[in-house]
């Protein structure tokens, strides 16, 4: 490795926290804000979609999405996300982080808007176009995972790198919270403007024609934060680590870094470029060095997302099961949307958002390994605490206790593996494969999300087929489903043993990009007076 490359890398590791670090967190984080909003807002409006497009005349209960339609609407974005993580992760290593970064954002903006204008003369046509655009929305979202994590890890210094990457990911919590708040505001506004009776008091008027605009406005809102950050993404320079290690242009890397991070490289001259290891993803050398790491990051993320997305997407079903949300027939369509959004907002405010920021504050103190082990362990404990005395929680007067326990599972998911599974793959793999490996790890997570979103939809149905939702076969019930999620968390705890601790180490030390040399003693950072 050339001396100038070492100087650039050493300067990055030693750079003090500066204003641009926070700017990069906001720019990358707004992508994750949008990702979370777009992925989770659909769960707030699926009940409304069922009422609007699948009304059954004479039925004692409002219309609901047929099982295959519900599975497609909830899960198709995850299929797109998985594809996007693999494709854009690979492309980010081939073309550079910055060149690909704008593509993902514009894909998200266009498909958010298109999802809201899904048209057709029949329910099948509307749902078909909605699923089509949500697949490509997911495709753009998928690219944001490896690119945002890699960009932030390559900009950060080794002392606070974990907190910076965690802060980017923590914007996901605000995205989930904002989805609930936007849905509350929109549904409340329409409910006030177009009052309607409960379904049992008037089946047809309980869903006013204007309700069709509600879900469209909610979905289209996701384009706004993504559009606002496009200009700033295009202004970001390529990361210095990619330029120095992959593009092999240490001089350009030093120049770019000096502009945005206000540091200068004091160089004693170039000692010439020496080829470092060029092993590829499918080489025996990669699997010897990093194969068990990749197995650890993929398995932990897969198991985590089965539990995390099952709980997130189907909060409305769980809250209905414990009678925290009244029976659908006792509410109008807009009232039901409002109550579901209120419940999700409360969970996000009490459990989801605080968990993310506990990770930001403590990850560079406790380390990734301890936080992930603790998170999986506590998720297991609280899921068992919900499942074992489940019948107790469903009795009147105990719903608040269930809500508190449920919020704690989200808290320890986010102050735990939901954050660390995102952070670690951006730190431990070589620069030329970093985005690809993060994309593979994230795609494994989305495979878990697909299992959770499709599987939980059926599994959580009542064992008594007469009590299952219309069109669904009997399932194993919410209680047994919670036991399954607890087992997934316990397996995640075991797989964490395959993942190394990366706290306080440089990216090159972790990945082996600079395994045989120490940074030169004279490589240092200097403030630039501007």
Assigned token pair, 377? 């362990």
Burial class (CB in 10 A: 0-12, 13-18, 19+), 505: middle
Residues 6+ apart with CB under 8 A from 191: 332, 334, 335, 338
pLDDT for 315-355, tens place per residue? 666 676 666 778 889 999 999 999 989 988 888 888 778 88
Distance separating alpha carbons of residues 81 and 320, to the nearest angstrom? 29
Average pLDDT, the chain: 84
Domain boundaries, the chain: 18-248+289-511
Secondary structure (DSSP) of 184-214: HHHHHHHHHHS----GGG-TTTTS-TTHHHH
Torsions phi, psi for 263 (to 5 deg) = -130, 160
pLDDT for 259-306, tens place per residue? 666 665 554 444 344 444 577 888 888 999 899 999 999 999 999 999
Q: Is 98 left (phi over 0), alpha (psi -120 to 50) or beta?
A: alpha
Confidence (pLDDT) at 270: 43
Residues 6+ apart with CB under 8 A from 166: 356, 359, 360, 363, 419, 423
Q: CA–CA distance from 465 to each of 69, 387, 456, 474 (Å)?
A: 19, 21, 16, 4
Check whether 466 has a pLDDT greater than 80. no
Percentage helix, strand, coil for the chain under 3-state DSSP, each rounded to 5:
75, 0, 25
Distance separating alpha carbons of residues 79 and 130, to the nearest angstrom? 14
Beta carbons of 191 and 56 less than 8 angstroms apart: no
CA dihedral over 429, 433, 438, 441, signed as positive or negative: negative
18-248+289-511: CATH number? 1.20.1250.20
Q: CA–CA distance from 57 to each of 53, 62, 63, 203, 492 (Å)?
A: 12, 9, 9, 8, 46
The whole-number average pLDDT for the span 180-185 is 95
Low-confidence winner among 109-113, 206-210, 226-230, 435-439 (lowest mean pLDDT)? 226-230
Beta carbons of 9 and 244 less than 8 angstroms apart: yes
Check whether 526 has a pLDDT greater than 50. no
Length of the chain: 530
Beta carbons of 446 and 141 less than 8 angstroms apart: no
pLDDT for 63-88, tens place per residue? 989 888 988 888 899 899 999 999 99
Confidence (pLDDT) at 262: 65
Distance separating alpha carbons of residues 179 and 45, to the nearest angstrom? 11
Confidence (pLDDT) at 1: 46
Torsions phi, psi for 244 (to 5 deg) = -80, -45
Check whether 125 has a pLDDT greater than 90. yes
- Report CA Rg, the chain: 24
Q: Could you identify the residue written with the tokens 């204003």?
A: 19
* Residue whose C-alpha is closest to residue 497's, from 366, 377, 415: 377
* Residue whose C-alpha is closest to residue 279's, from 386, 164, 429: 429
pLDDT above 90 coverage of the chain, percent? 45
The whole-number average pLDDT for the span 205-211 is 93
Give the best-scoring range by mean pLDDT among 94-98, 321-325, 521-525.
94-98
Distance separating alpha carbons of residues 208 and 200, to the nearest angstrom? 15
pLDDT for 83-93, tens place per residue? 999 999 999 99
């Amino acid at each position: 490795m050339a001396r100038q490359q070492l100087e650039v890398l050493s300067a990055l590791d030693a750079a003090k926290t500066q204003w641009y670090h926070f700017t990069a967190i906001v720019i990358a984080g707004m992508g994750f804000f949008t990702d979370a909003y777009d992925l989770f807002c659909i769960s707030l409006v699926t009940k409304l979609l069922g009422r609007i497009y699948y009304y059954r005349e004479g039925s004692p209960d409002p219309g609901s999405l047929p099982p295959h339609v519900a599975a497609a609407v909830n899960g198709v974005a995850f299929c797109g996300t998985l594809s996007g993580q693999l494709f854009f992760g690979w492309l980010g290593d081939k073309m550079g982080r910055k060149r690909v970064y704008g593509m993902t954002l514009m894909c998200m903006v266009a498909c958010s808007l298109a999802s809201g204008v899904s048209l057709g003369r029949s329910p099948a046509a509307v749902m078909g176009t909605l699923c089509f655009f949500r697949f490509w929305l997911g495709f753009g979202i998928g690219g944001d995972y490896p690119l945002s994590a890699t960009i932030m890890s390559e900009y950060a210094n080794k002392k606070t790198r974990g907190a910076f990457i965690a802060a980017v990911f923590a914007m996901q919590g605000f995205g989930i919270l904002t989805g609930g708040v936007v849905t509350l505001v929109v549904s409340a506004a329409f409910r006030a403007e177009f009052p309607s009776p409960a379904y049992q008091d008037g089946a047809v008027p309980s869903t006013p024609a204007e309700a069709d605009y509600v879900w469209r406005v909610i979905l289209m809102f996701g384009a706004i934060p993504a559009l606002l950050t496009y200009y700033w993404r295009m202004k970001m320079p390529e990361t210095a680590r990619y330029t120095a290690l992959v593009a092999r242009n240490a001089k350009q890397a030093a120049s770019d870094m000096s502009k945005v991070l206000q540091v200068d490289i004091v160089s004693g001259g170039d000692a010439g470029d020496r080829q470092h290891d060029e092993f590829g993803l499918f080489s025996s050398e990669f699997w010897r060095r990093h194969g068990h790491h990749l197995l650890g990051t993929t398995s932990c993320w897969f198991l985590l997302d089965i539990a995390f997305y099952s709980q997130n997407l189907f909060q409305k079903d769980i809250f209905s099961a414990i009678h925290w949300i009244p029976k659908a027939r006792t509410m109008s369509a807009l009232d039901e949307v409002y109550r579901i959004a209120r419940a999700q907002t409360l969970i996000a405010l009490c459990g989801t958002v605080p968990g993310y920021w506990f990770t930001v504050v403590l990850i560079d103190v406790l380390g990734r390994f301890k936080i992930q082990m603790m998170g999986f362990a506590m998720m297991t404990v609280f899921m068992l605490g919900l499942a074992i005395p489940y019948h107790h929680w469903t009795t009147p007067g105990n719903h608040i206790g269930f809500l508190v326990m449920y919020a704690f599972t989200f808290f320890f998911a986010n102050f735990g593996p939901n954050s660390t599974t995102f952070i670690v793959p951006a730190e431990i793999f070589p620069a030329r494969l970093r985005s690809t490996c993060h994309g593979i790890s994230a795609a494994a997570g989305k495979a878990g999300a697909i299992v959770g979103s499709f599987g939980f939809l059926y599994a959580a149905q009542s064992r008594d087929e007469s009590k299952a939702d219309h069109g669904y076969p009997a399932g194993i019930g919410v209680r047994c489903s919670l036991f399954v999620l607890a087992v997934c968390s316990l397996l995640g705890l075991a797989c964490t043993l395959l993942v190394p601790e990366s706290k306080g180490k440089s990216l090159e030390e972790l990945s082996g990009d600079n395994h045989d040399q120490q940074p030169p003693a004279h490589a240092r950072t200097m403030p630039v007076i501007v």
